[in-house]
Copies of this chain bind each other. A is one copy, B any other.
Amino acid sequence: MRKIIIGVMGPGEKATAIDVQNAYELGKLIATQGWVLLTGGRNVGVMDAASRGAKSVNGLTIGILPCYDSQGISEAVDITIFTDMGNARNNINVLSSHVVIACGMGAGTASEICLALKGNKKVILLSVDEESQNFFQKLAPKNVYVVNDVENTMALTKQILNHTKT
């Protein structure tokens, strides 16, 4: 009965135009597969774009929010989980995702990648800079994948799901 949840993490206010475009496309493709999209739930950057992408094809979207009230929530989030625990909620984001996709980079996103690796999750890095690739691939060579486009991200996600006991 348990649904497949794919987590898309990435910068909020500081997301680049490419991060946002990738996130929207990812959200759309994840929902098309029938998977549930999980993000940090706020109405900015990668979280918002991925959620809007998923809703554009009637997907189901979850937002794990750092706050306790409805200010600043993405309108494209269906299921709002209010943690009121700030950035500590990043651990919940990754523990609840079957696969974690990092779409862009920043301190918050990097904390999610680290917590995912600490929890022995597979992480896909999409369009991140060279320093990030080098750092994370050295940190956890078996659990980190580097890709440069949305299609390969999706192919890799399917492959990981096939090899994971869900």
Interface size on A, residues (CB 8 A): 51
A105, CB-defined interface residue at 8 Å: yes
Q: Which of A68-84 contact B (CB under 8 A)?
A: 68, 70, 73, 75-84
Residue contacts A-B, CB under 8 angstroms, 25 given: A2-B73, A2-B77, A62-B79, A68-B95, A70-B166, A79-B79, A81-B81, A81-B96, A82-B96, A83-B92, A84-B87, A85-B92, A87-B118, A88-B90, A88-B92, A90-B115, A108-B118, A110-B110, A111-B111, A111-B115, A114-B114, A132-B135, A134-B134, A134-B135, A135-B135
Interface string of A53-75 (1 = CB under 8 A from B): 00100000010100010100101
In the complex, the chain B residue whose C-beta lies closest to that of A166 is: B70
